[in-house]
Structure 1
Amino acid sequence: MDQKRKLYIETYGCQMNFSDTQIVGSIMTDHDFETTGNIAEADLIFVNTCSIRDNAEKRVRARLQEFKRYKKQKPGLIIGVLGCMAERLKEQLISEEKMVDVIVGPDAYRDLPRLLNIAEGGQKAINVILSADETYADINPVRPDSNGVSAFISIMRGCENFCSYCVVPYTRGRERSRDPQTIVKEAEDLFSQGYREVTLLGQNVNSYKWDDGTGFAKLLERVALVNPLLRVRFATSHPKDLTDELLHTMAAHPNICRSIHLPVQSGSDRILKLMNRKYDSSWYRQRIEAIRRILPGCAISTDIITGFCSETEQDHQETLEMMKWAAYDYAFMFKYSERPDTLAHKKYKDDVPEAVKGTRLQEIIDLQQELSFRSNHADIGRTFEVLAESLSRKSGKELSGRNSQNKVVVFPRENYKPGDYVRVRVTACTPATLKGEAVAE
């Protein structure tokens, strides 16, 4: 038999990108490729890209320059750029990155085999057409880098929120949901393969809706009913769409994890309006209060952007106040990065100096460190059910896993293995990690 050609994929950006990489792996496996973790032996290199921030694009461009040496060593090597950056910068990539042979947007992965044939014939191959219905629902993702315990399931694609700073609606197209039957089937298959946790992914999962009227709360319940030993998570929720129905569904099923990621972006009503977030700080606080009321003990995480157009010191202080009030368990924090062709780029001036952005970001990070440590310290002495995922990075004698609140817990390995549920009593913590010991049932 002919030896299969080797595909190497690097992935940047959000969880949706990592999920897409698994779809690409499946498509290419069906066309006589096998994935490899060794770039030097690759016949085909794909970079699955992110455009959410300028730094992400700069990293990809730098990486493409590094690929030149592999092209020199193997003249037949094909290099492809996939995903959001391919969609956004197709013309520049063709004219500026001479080593790139294939450019494919997020909705065109089925076309990869045809495009590869074109590239192997010596021509540039491009498909960045956005789709109104593509969900890849019939493709069984290949998960070569999975820990075998937790997996992502994409339930929808695209976004129609049009936050003024965000490029996603322009790179991933309109919202469209996937048939719930295929989602439940994928969850069932993953459980039968030994997976014990799935995360349902969408740019805004709350917007999920199928033709039969199934909304996200009902879908979440159907996945939770696959098996009580299957943990279910989801990301990401938009505050304007987070309903009490969803919270009550979570409360009714213990295997739906007690963790909600609810991006606030800013604590200032003026900035939220400029961002086109479609809620104000009062609405956001009401949603936090609903979570605390209906799901006591639920962890809440967030996203924060500092230095958005015209942000004043008062706006910044309102963000810090929101953080203190919400007492987030953890957060993803960024400086504003202007993205071409967004509403903010067209209407507003990126006028907050970089030094000020940096100072404000550091203040936000420092505060969140305090909040995270306070949250973790409060867990000392408590016992949690932890799903063991892998060996600890620091020691082969310890396992690392997460509790329902999505907090990382490290504990002695003993006779446990990844995939086991272990009751762990917390004995110490850092701002990022809980440490503990297994206790008897």
Structure 2
Amino acid sequence: MKKFYIKTFGCQMNVNDSEKMAGILRDMGYEKAESPEEADVIIVNTCSVRAKPDNKAFSFIGSLKKIKKKKPETIIAVAGCVPQKEKDSILRFSHVDLVFGTFNFMKLDSLLERAKRERVVEILNSKIPEEDRVPLIDSYLENPYVAYVTVQRGCNRFCTYCIVPFTRGRERSVKPELVVEEVKRLAERGVKEVQLLGQNVDFYNYEGVDFADLLYMVSEVEGIERIRFQTSHPAGFNRKIVKAMKEIEKVCPYVHLPPQSGSNRILERMNRGYTREEYIEKVMMLKGEIPDVALSGDFIVGFPGETEKDFEDTLSLVETCVFDQGFVFEFSPRPFTKAATFKDDVPKEVKNRRLQELQDLIKRQAEEKNRKRLGKVEEVLVEGRSPKGGELSGRTKDNKLVVFDGDEGLIGKFIKVEIVETSPFFLKGKPILEGA
């Protein structure tokens, strides 16, 4: 049997796209390879949100040349956001046989057939007619109990630093009936938790059905016990969504709501569409309605023109809102974006310092919040072995990672775990087993 290997860079949506491509390959008769060396088809699914994943992808693509030289019949494909925005950067790798963008992955079967005969480059730049059929591709799930479901793609916001509108196109929502059908099919396969994905999931709208409505519809699917969603946009996050979270037992008390900055001046330069006051007001409303909710966010430090006062405003926003987790990045200009034309005037050493200072603050907040869990009993969905320590691992309803010793027979089950040790990044637990 022929084998495939997919290397994925970037966000959860890329992971979901890769799982769908793997599903197509499975239906074509391929099985998954454990390494690129043993694969007949190698796909690199790229990300271009920041420079770092760009560079990692280029390095990995370059490393495949030796495989192609040893096994010329191997088909090497590059997909995703990088070829969507700048295919020439991929075409310079002569050993790459197939290049396609973010709109093309559902045609992978026909693209591969063509790539056996000739080098294929196919980049679509607008919505394709088949897009509403995307959810009907059965994914090859990396985790058989937790699955991603893409409900909204693209973005109309045009934040000045962000390349997503250029690589993923404009906002478009998947028909709600198709979302529900996909979730039902996942439940039939034993999936216990679904994560609804969108570039700006709060802006989901299909002929008047908004995101809160969709949450109610998905919650009715039998077999699904947890529902998560991301990524939320502060301009679209609203009280109706919070009401749905509060009323629907299956919806997890966790929100990823990226502020990016706490400075109104920088938020305006970023074209984010809200003020720090509006962001804080929504977080306080959320925490007022759901006191045990966990909050995470993304931040950019060193954005062009960011002063010490602007950075202090970000620190004060974090101190006010209190985060369970934060992802902090130094500004890196992306091609085609407006911010790429701004003068990158914050010195590298200042960016480094601000990144570390903000990370340290969020780490302290997370550590303090996690410490309060010591001795408490949490419900955890056991997802598998921890890749680092070999222990079992899973997540609480509010997305806290918990590791613990246990038998593999627990995988895929909901169990009670007593928290015996805490850290900023994970909790260590002791399973409380029935009859023990």
- Aligned residue identity for 1:127: I
Residue equivalent to 1:156: 152
- Aligned residue identity for 1:155: V
Return the offset for 1:174. Answer: 1.1
Residue equivalent to 2:46: 49
| Secondary structure of residue in 1 paired with 2:206 | coil
- Does 1:423 pair with 2:416? yes
For residues 220 and 105 of structure 1, the distance between their equivalents in structure 2, rounded to whole angstroms, comes to 30
- Does 1:74 pair with 2:68? no
| Secondary structure of residue in 2 paired with 1:137 | helix
| Secondary structure of residue in 2 paired with 1:355 | helix
User: Any unmatched runs of 5+ in structure 1?
Assistant: none
For residues 147 and 28 of structure 1, the distance between their equivalents in structure 2, rounded to whole angstroms, comes to 17
| Secondary structure of residue in 2 paired with 1:162 | coil
Residue equivalent to 2:360: 366
- Does 1:410 pair with 2:403? yes
For residues 54 and 163 of structure 2, the distance between their equivalents in structure 1, rounded to whole angstroms, comes to 13
Identical-pair percentage: 38
Return the offset for 1:88. Answer: 1.1
Residue equivalent to 1:354: 348
Residue range with higher mean Cα deviation, 188-197 or 43-52: 188-197
Q: Deviations over 1:40-84 (max 9, x none)?
A: 121221100000011111111111111010011011222111000
Instruction: Check 1:121–1:391 CA distance in 2 against 1; reply closer, same or farther (3 A cut).
Output: closer
| Secondary structure of residue in 1 paired with 2:209 | coil
- Aligned residue identity for 1:28: L
| Secondary structure of residue in 1 paired with 2:235 | helix
User: Any unmatched runs of 5+ in structure 2?
Assistant: none
- Does 1:207 pair with 2:203? yes
Instruction: Check 1:147–1:113 CA distance in 2 against 1; reply closer, same or farther (3 A cut).
Output: closer
- Does 1:285 pair with 2:280? yes
Residue range with higher mean Cα deviation, 33-42 or 321-330: 33-42
Return the offset for 1:391. Answer: 2.5
For residues 427 and 31 of structure 1, the distance between their equivalents in structure 2, rounded to whole angstroms, comes to 47
Q: Give me the TM-score of the superposition, normalised by structure 1.
A: 0.94
Return the offset for 1:416. Answer: 5.5
Residue equivalent to 1:191: 187
Residue equivalent to 2:61: 64
8 Å CA contact 2:385, 2:392 repeated in 1 = yes
8 Å CA contact 1:86, 1:105 repeated in 2 = yes
8 Å CA contact 1:26, 1:140 repeated in 2 = yes
Residue equivalent to 1:232: 227
1:219 is matched with which residue: 204, 214, 219?
A: 214
For residues 379 and 413 of structure 2, the distance between their equivalents in structure 1, rounded to whole angstroms, comes to 10
Q: Deviations over 1:323-365 (max 9, x none)?
A: 111110011111111001101113x211111111111111111
Residue equivalent to 1:122: 118
Instruction: Check 1:360–1:415 CA distance in 2 against 1; reply closer, same or farther (3 A cut).
Output: closer
For residues 102 and 139 of structure 1, the distance between their equivalents in structure 2, rounded to whole angstroms, comes to 24
Equivalences for 1:22-421 in 2 at 5 Å?
Answer: 22-94=19-91, 96-131=92-127, 134-144=131-141, 146-211=142-207, 213-227=208-222, 230-346=225-341, 348-393=342-387, 395-396=389-390, 398-413=391-406, 417-421=410-414
| Secondary structure of residue in 2 paired with 1:240 | coil
Residue range with higher mean Cα deviation, 412-421 or 280-289: 412-421
8 Å CA contact 1:84, 1:105 repeated in 2 = yes
Return the offset for 1:28. Answer: 2.8
| Secondary structure of residue in 1 paired with 2:161 | coil
- Aligned residue identity for 2:220: L
Instruction: Check 1:440–1:10 CA distance in 2 against 1; reply closer, same or farther (3 A cut).
Output: closer
- Aligned residue identity for 1:426: I
- Aligned residue identity for 2:196: L
Over the aligned positions, Cα root-mean-square deviation in angstroms equals 1.8
| Secondary structure of residue in 2 paired with 1:125 | strand
